[in-house]
Amino acid sequence: MSIQDLVDDFEFLDEWEDRYRYVIELGKELEPLTDAEHSRENKVEGCVSQVWLVSELRENAGGAPLLHFRGDSDAHIVRGLIAILMRLFSDKTPEEILNVDARAVFAALGLNEHLTPQRSNGLNSMVARIRSDAKAVAAAASA
């Protein structure tokens, strides 16, 4: 599912309760993390809920590095937000990841004005972590 598909789905849902339910449904589609991956190293700081993100380095058909992300949270809504972030960032090159304007996407989805300040801070922490991983891979590839 593309980001535009997601935007279209959100536009189709008139009520915010329906949109929240949809976000929760998206979270049910996350790739699972193992018990070992629910570790301190994978925990995202700055989130009120517990959030874990795992990044895996892969290659595309041409041998360029791609980052594949998986995540989990103990909160249903946050799991849905992670699912949206996976659609934005997973299986992309570091350059593609660094060029994504996550705030613009969340604004297009209408989520900016409907997330609590704590959830917004957590979302920003997750995006910062993903961008940090992308910067590290880009730096290693150019070295």
Segment 95-99 long-range contacts (CB within 8 Å, at least 24 positions apart): 95/138, 97/67, 97/130, 97/131, 97/134, 98/131, 98/134, 98/135, 98/138
What is the spatial distance between Cα 134 and Cα 125, in angstroms, rounded to a whole number?
Answer: 14
Has 87 been annotated as catalytic?
Answer: no
User: Residues 47, 54, 100, 134: which is the catalytic one?
Assistant: 47
Q: Which residues are catalytic?
A: 47
